[in-house]
Structure formats: structure tokens, C-alpha cells
Amino acid sequence: MLAIETENLTKDYGKKTVVNNLYLTVKQGEIFTLLGANGSGKSTTVKMLTGLLKPTRGNVKILNQKILAENLELKKQIGVLPESLALFESLSIWEHILLSGEVYGLTKTETNYRGEQLLKYLDLWEDRFMRIEQCSFGMKKKCSLSLALIHNPQVVFLDEPFEGVDPISSKNIREAILFSSKKGCTFFITSHSLEIMEQIIDSFAILSRGEIVYQASAQLLKSENKKLESIYFEYVKNDLTGDLGWLGS
């Protein structure tokens, strides 16, 4: 079964096409990563896949259903770690947990148990009463990740989950993704952490200027004895060159 499917997915802003004609399929239980430089269209793609942004053209299906604003039951099966983190500065980490549990219809007992397990796993438990405005970027990232997982979704979208996170938490996040994937959860991840992605992905695509320029499985990379990093730099290049001979002189 396909967990994620796009057809001709396109987003225009005026005369500028930010994402162009994407055809993507991700099987249930797969870990998929969308790679690309800053401004390549990754976050815009995630916003369209999760219903936060309406495509100019094309279709999106999640778990074989169209991602529509009124399809609340489908949205309850989706977890999202957004680019913006979507947190309330005046609320504490624990208040976010309680609010999220209520939104997803969890009982108070379920919310307390799952919240405690997630925050302990991500090393946030001791700081659970700290307001978001007092938290570091890494703490905010881990709080938002907890909210994406607490309702045990079938499909999870993670926008740069390893950015600004300490090595221990990064290891825990990797292990949580792998564990959940083995139980059938699907992950769609955008990341600049090529080394981490190579360790966990089943498939990937490279986005450049809003278009897919390369797509393959991790198994194909291994069979051809290729590294994800080398493939990435082959297709994603800096078009601007400059002379920095003055630097350090």
C-alpha cells in the first residue's frame, strides 16, 4: 500500500514556480527523505503534502485519501514537525503535551503516559515546566517532535528533525524513527544531514529548483557502492562562484 502519492504536484507564486510537477510515491512503513539545498522547495512540498498549503496544480493522496481541510480523521493519522515548529511561546513544554493530547482525543491517562515517555526519551522531562520562550532552539525542536508523535500517527512528516539537536537526542530520534518504521509507520523527512539519512532511509529523492533531479532506493545505492553524499553533490551544485582570496589575508 502507498502511504504517500503525488501527481503533477506544482506550486506557483505569481510567475515563479517553486515546486514543479512532482511525482512521488512512498510505501507504507518506508523511511523516505527529500533532499535539496535551501530554497529548493522542500518545505513548500511538505506544506502541500500536509494540507497547510494548497497546490496550484496536481494531487496529493495520503493513505489513499485526498488531503482536504475537512478530512479531520485523516489528519489525525498524520504527524507533522513543521519548519516553523508551531509552538506557543507563553506555554510550557508540558502544557503543549496536554493541549496536543486533547486535540487528538487522547484520554488524560494516555496523554500523561505518552507525554512522559516521549519527554524522557528526548531528554526534556526535567524541563517540562519551562516556557517555550525560555527554551533553546534544540529544546523547541524536540518539543515539537513530541507533539508530532504523541497520537501514534501512521504517517509522519519531519522537516529538518536533526537541525540544532544534540548528538544524544539525534541518536534517540534516529532510533525512534527506525522502531516506528518497523511497526508500519511511514516517515517523510527533509534534511541536510546526509550521513544520518544514509543510515536510516529506504528511498530518497533530490530536489533542485523545485524539480526532482534524481530518485532511487537505498538498496540501489548499496548495490552500486555509491554514497548518498556523492550523489547529492553531483546533482546539487552552487551556481555562484567567487574569489575569496582576500579572506584571511
8 with 64, same domain: the answer is: yes
State what percent of residues in the chain have pLDDT above 70.
97
Choose the weakest-confidence range: 18-27, 34-43, 70-79, 135-144. 70-79
Mean pLDDT of the chain, nearest integer: 91
Q: Looking at this protein, which amino acid is placed at residue 115?
A: G
CB 33 within 8 A of CB 191: yes
Q: Is residue 165 part of a domain?
A: yes
For the chain, the residue count is 249
| Per-residue confidence (pLDDT) for residue 62, from 0 to 100 | 95
Question: All 3 cell numbers of residue 224?
Answer: 552500486
Cα–Cα distance measured from residue 233 to residue 226, given in angstroms and rounded to the nearest whole number: 12
158 with 211, same domain: the answer is: yes
Cα–Cα distance measured from residue 218 to residue 226, given in angstroms and rounded to the nearest whole number: 10
Measured in whole angstroms, the distance separating CA 229 from the mean position of its chain's CA atoms is: 19
Count the alpha carbons within 13 Å of 101 in the hemisphere toward its beta carbon: 18
In DSSP terms, 33 is beta-bridged to: 189, 204
Picking from 152, 173, 196, the residue at the C-terminal end of a domain is 152
| Per-residue confidence (pLDDT) for residue 24, from 0 to 100 | 94
Q: Is the pLDDT of residue 42 over 90?
A: yes
Residue whose C-alpha is closest to residue 90's, from 81, 82, 99: 99
71 with 184, same domain: the answer is: yes
Mean pLDDT in residue range 210-237: 91
Question: All 3 cell numbers of residue 15?
Answer: 510567475
List of residues 6+ apart from 240 with CB closer than 8 A:
none
Nearest 5°: the CA angle 75, 78, 81 is 120
| Per-residue confidence (pLDDT) for residue 247, from 0 to 100 | 79
Q: What total number of domains does the chain contain? A: 2
Backbone phi, psi, residue 8, to 5°:
55, 35
Residue span of the structural domain in which 112 resides: 89-152
Q: Is the pLDDT of residue 246 over 90?
A: no
Q: Is the pLDDT of residue 79 over 60?
A: yes
Cα–Cα distance measured from residue 121 to residue 233, given in angstroms and rounded to the nearest whole number: 34
147 with 204, same domain: the answer is: no
Picking from 100, 118, 152, the residue at the C-terminal end of a domain is 152
Q: Is the pLDDT of residue 239 over 60?
A: no
State what percent of residues in the chain have pLDDT above 90.
73
Mean pLDDT in residue range 95-108: 95
Q: Is the pLDDT of residue 102 over 60?
A: yes
| Per-residue confidence (pLDDT) for residue 166, from 0 to 100 | 87
Q: Is residue 130 part of a domain?
A: yes
Q: Is the pLDDT of residue 48 over 60?
A: yes
Helices (H), 39-154: 42-49, 72-75, 93-103, 108-121, 137-149
Q: Is the pLDDT of residue 156 over 80?
A: yes
Give the burial string for 115-134 (b: 16+ CB within 10 Å, else e): beebbebbebeebbebebee
Q: Is the pLDDT of residue 240 over 60?
A: no
Model confidence pLDDT, tens digit, residues 178-213: 988 998 999 999 999 999 999 999 999 999 999 999
Query: Is the pLDDT higher at 239 or at 165?
Result: 165
52 with 142, same domain: the answer is: no
Q: In what order do the strands lie in the sheet with 16-27?
A: 16-27, 2-13, 57-62, 65-66
159 with 231, same domain: the answer is: yes
Strand runs labelled E in 41-151: 57-62, 65-66, 78-81
12 pLDDT band, cuts 50/70/90, is: very high
68 pLDDT band, cuts 50/70/90, is: confident
